[in-house]
Amino acid sequence: MSDEFYITRCLELAALAMGNVSPNPMVGCVIVADGQIIGQGYHQHYGKPHAEPNAISSVIEKYGNQAQELLKKATAYVNLEPCAHFGKTPPCADLLVKHQLKKVVIGNRDPFASVDGKGIEKLKNAGIEVVSGILDAECRHFNRRFFTRIKQQRPYIILKWAQTANGFFATADGHQKWISGNLAKRLAHQWRTEEDAILIGKKTALMDNPQLTAREWPGKNPIRLVIDKNLQVPQSNHIYNNEAKTIIFNEIKTDLVDNIHYIQMEDMHFYLGQKIAFQLYLMDIQSVIIEGGVNILKQFLETNLWDEARIFSSANSWTEGIASPSIGGNLTEQIQIGPDKLSIYINSINP
């Protein structure tokens, strides 16, 4: 089998931890000897063992006393450079050196300053052959949330909305009216389990009283983020229940009440998107879905502060309403989700 085959397997393993390892990257590891996979593993939860120790443990568990000799002639495949520093776990590069693997094949070099080539250097200095850059673009896209956080010092930002066939976003009178169907709703709830946080503005909180949970898909609820400058959303609103950690960006106070975190900001009418993005970076929030109203979405679009847009278009048309935001970027995919069409755009200006 080719290097690309095994790196693809690493990505398949790593994807099993989607939504559970942030702000760490998703990493899988496959260990091969004599043309056979003898062990594999992935980073399952933040703060727990990384992919490489889990893969090596699987070899030891399966082969017992024969494991060490097998590892000495084995190749380890990993989609991201093995770490070289002590964090919540010991360095994975040191573990591979300890077990004297013959070769390590890597997808991406790790951009994190404490690694960034140091893991590769440790392996080479120990006499281990290293090959890197296998499926580099695919691996980078796979861990695009991690790369965005490290390189741009902000979370990966996903814009999401639904619109009618003729481009209306919401009713003109402000009453709630569903646009997309049940399958689209379930998919949106799956997305919530995969990202760290979800953001809305005051108007959406007041008009829709959303729960912002993943109740229609198994998995964790995202952190709820609400922009409420003057704290006008009533405490009876769903966002104040105890189903998820909730952060309220406002100009009045900084406080912590149970699961509600109030974060005070100055002059929220200036550079709001940039301020929120940097605050989320400081809080180790690696990705956010923005499901706010037109004004919130436009603020992120007009400042080019977005990475991906996911837009549902229904088959139905309205005679009037509030127009949807206009989107640039590259249309990369269109999928039929029941009666709705999902269009996915990538911001072509971002690196």
208 labeled binding residue: yes
User: Of 4, 12, 52, 195, which is the active-site residue?
Assistant: 52
50 labeled binding residue: yes
Half-sphere exposure of 143 (CA within 13 A, CB side): 33
Half-sphere exposure of 28 (CA within 13 A, CB side): 19
Active-site residue flag, 52: yes
224 labeled binding residue: no
- In whole angstroms, what separates CA 338 from the centre of its chain? 25
171 labeled binding residue: no
197 labeled binding residue: no
29 labeled binding residue: no
Strands of 287-290's sheet in order across: 255-257, 260-264, 246-250, 223-227, 197-201, 287-290, 156-163, 308-313, 340-346, 330-337
Crossing angle of the two packed helices 51-63 and 3-14, in degrees rounded to 10: 100
231 labeled binding residue: no
- For residue 305, which of 290, 291, 283, 294 has the smallest C-alpha distance? 290
121 labeled binding residue: no
189 labeled binding residue: no
258 labeled binding residue: no
Q: How far is 16 from 292, CA to CA, in rounded Å?
A: 29
212 labeled binding residue: yes
Please state the φ and ψ torsions of residue 325, each to the nearest 5 degrees. Answer: -65, 155
Q: 3-class DSSP state for residue 54?
A: helix
Q: Which residues are catalytic?
A: 52
Could you tell me which residues are annotated as the binding site for substrate? 192, 212, 215, 291
Could you tell me which residues are annotated as the binding site for NADP(+)? 162, 178, 204, 208
Could you tell me which residues are annotated as the binding site? 50, 83, 92, 162, 178, 192, 204, 208, 212, 215, 291
